[in-house]
């Protein structure tokens, strides 16, 4: 564990460390120099990416504009930034020509750095991204006939260690900032050329390894490639609650990225204390990584279960604000051979979901293998039978088709190469994390 672990929360804050809620509480992670969400740059300019309108206005005022002008400029810049995807002040045509260089001298509109862009044979794309302080994380785009889903990361690494998840073998490096989270969605729009007309940034599309014309044939009838967002990349989003909330607010704002909350799903391994807040303060669809129906098995494969148990989790789901038959909660269930895939497991799943009267759908995920993983995927016949039993119990249980396996972009395969570890080291880390869990 990192040597900062025994610093108390107050001291951590004073030392500029960011406490992260989790099973090791608090777990401070160094975030040098971030003040009020603003990361200092070497050239002294301030990156506006990730900031809300109010904060942008404050910064404009601090830079010398009077309050009224600062508010007006902030409104304009916000619109260009999040709604139109513009990264150059020079292109903000409703801002006075003399004002644009003034802004450019003091501010920038950044994007996460793209280290690598990969294309799967099934059309899935994965981008390896790098933070300004040189940590790698990933985002994945999954095109389907009727939708396009962007899988967004919330942390570099993860504090939890679900045994079937490759990300779980990484240490938590740090929480992603609001800009780094919303920046993934903006980068995807750049790469897919999906900003309202005239605002496309060809330079970024080229950087992302995409030709301008390459995707024309992929457009769905309503002309949109990116229609849905899932917070299912690296990390546990509810352990980075504030930043995830603030980023999704920018995504959902009608004058921001303007994506409906009905098209956004947040997946949690079961951080019960933050679930109600998630419903109230963000209001997006909820997915819960259930994966097992008995204490023993869930304790083993989703160790946060030792802290927040199965039945309490289902009660928290029943209480989730906004859940209804029209907006069901998704229960994710990874199919692990001889571990959680028996007929009686399927029957118990139905019993539990009914006991709590949950508006539920079950998503069966074939286990995606990774080097050194301690499990195998259930056979297709087993998965089919399991799905049938749940379906006969009155709950829909489709099997999720694995996507992007050839580029390690499928569920649970995300792990940045910079953090690759040996099997022995993985075992040691797992033991260490479990000891901390108590």
Q: Which active-site residues does the annotation give?
A: 138, 411
The verdict on 408 binding ligand SF4 (CB under 6 A) reads: no
Tell me which of ligand SAH, ligand SF4, none is bound by residue 60, counting a contact when its beta carbon lies within the kind-specific cut-off of 5 to 8 angstroms.
none
Q: Is 244 exposed, middle or buried (0-12, 13-18, 19+ CB in 10 A)?
A: buried
The verdict on 167 binding ligand SF4 (CB under 6 A) reads: yes
Q: Which stretch binds ligand SAH (CB under 6 A): 66-74, 87-95, 361-369, 430-438?
A: 361-369
Q: Which stretch binds ligand SF4 (CB under 6 A): 34-42, 126-134, 161-169, 346-354?
A: 161-169
Binds ligand SAH by CB under 6 A, chosen from 227, 368, 378, 387: 368
- Supply the minimum distance, in Å, between the C-beta of residue 46 and ligand SF4: 32
Q: Which stretch binds ligand SAH (CB under 6 A): 171-179, 212-220, 262-270, 424-432?
A: 262-270
The verdict on 269 binding ligand SF4 (CB under 6 A) reads: yes
Name the phi and psi angles at 384, rounded to 5. Answer: -60, -50
What does 160-227 look like in DSSP terms, one character per residue? ---TT-SGGGSPP-EEPPHHHHHHHHHHHHHHHT-SSTT---HHHHHHTT--SSTTGGG--TTS-S--
Task: Give the separation between CA 141 and CA 152, rounded to whole angstroms.
Answer: 9
Binds ligand SAH by CB under 6 A, chosen from 89, 127, 141, 164: 164
Beta bridge mates, 138: 128
Which pair of tokens denotes residue 248? 């999704």
Tell me which of ligand SF4, ligand SAH, none is bound by residue 332, counting a contact when its beta carbon lies within the kind-specific cut-off of 5 to 8 angstroms.
ligand SAH
Coil vs helix vs strand at 47? strand
The mark string for 270-309 relative to ligand SF4 (x by CB under 6 A, - otherwise) is -------------------x--------------------
Contact 167, 247 (CB under 8 A): no
The mark string for 304-333 relative to ligand SAH (x by CB under 6 A, - otherwise) is ----------------------------x-
Measured CA to CA in angstroms, residue 386 lies from 175, 205, 269 at distances of 36, 43, 22
Encode burial over 4-22: b for 16+ CB neighbours within 10 A, e otherwise: eeebeeeebeeeebbbbbb
Q: Which residues bind ligand SAH (CB under 6 A)?
A: 162, 164-165, 232, 236, 267-269, 289, 332, 334, 365, 367-368, 411-412
Per CB under 6 A, residues contacting ligand SF4 are 158, 160-162, 165, 167-168, 235-236, 269, 289
């Amino acid at each position: 564990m990192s040597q900062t672990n025994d610093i108390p929360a107050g001291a951590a804050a004073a030392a500029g460390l960011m406490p992260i809620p989790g099973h090791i509480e608090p777990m401070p992670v160094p975030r040098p120099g971030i003040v009020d969400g603003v990361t200092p740059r070497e050239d002294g300019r301030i990156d506006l990416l990730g900031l809300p309108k109010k904060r942008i206005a404050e910064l404009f005022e601090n830079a010398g504009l009077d309050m009224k002008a600062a508010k007006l400029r902030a409104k304009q810049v916000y619109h260009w930034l999040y709604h139109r995807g513009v990264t150059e002040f020079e292109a903000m045509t409703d801002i006075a020509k003399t004002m644009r260089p003034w802004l450019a001298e003091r501010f920038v509109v950044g994007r996460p750095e793209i280290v690598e862009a990969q294309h799967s044979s099934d059309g899935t794309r994965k981008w390896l991204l790098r933070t300004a302080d040189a940590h790698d994380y990933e985002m994945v785009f999954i095109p389907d006939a009727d939708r396009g889903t962007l899988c967004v990361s919330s942390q570099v690494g993860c504090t939890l260690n679900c045994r079937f998840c490759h990300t779980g073998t990484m240490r938590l490096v740090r929480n992603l900032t609001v800009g780094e989270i919303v920046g993934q969605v903006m980068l995807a729009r750049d790469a897919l050329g999906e900003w309202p007309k005239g605002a496309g940034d060809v330079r970024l599309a080229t950087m992302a390894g995409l030709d301008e014309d390459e995707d024309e044939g992929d457009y769905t009838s309503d002309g949109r490639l990116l229609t849905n967002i899932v917070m299912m990349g690296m990390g546990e989003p509810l352990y980075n609650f504030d930043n995830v909330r603030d980023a999704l607010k920018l995504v959902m704002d009608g004058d921001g990225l303007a994506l409906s909350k009905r098209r956004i799903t947040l997946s949690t391994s079961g951080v019960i204390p933050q679930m109600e807040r998630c419903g109230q303060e963000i209001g997006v669809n909820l997915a819960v990584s259930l994966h097992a129906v008995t204490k023993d098995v869930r304790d083993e494969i989703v160790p946060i279960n030792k802290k927040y148990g199965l039945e309490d989790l289902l009660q928290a789901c029943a209480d989730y604000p906004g859940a209804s038959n029209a907006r069901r909660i998704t229960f994710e269930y990874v199919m692990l051979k001889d571990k959680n895939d028996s007929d009686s497991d399927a029957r118990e799943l139905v019993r539990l979901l009914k006991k709590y009267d949950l508006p539920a759908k079950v998503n069966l995920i074939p286990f995606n293998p990774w080097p050194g993983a301690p499990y195998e995927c259930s056979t297709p016949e087993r998965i089919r039978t399991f799905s049938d039993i749940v379906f006969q119990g009155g709950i829909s249980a489709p099997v999720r088709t694995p996507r992007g396996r050839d580029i390690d972009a499928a569920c649970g395969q995300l792990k940045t190469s910079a953090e690759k570890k040996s099997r022995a080291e993985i075992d040691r880390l797992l033991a260490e994390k479990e000891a901390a869990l108590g």
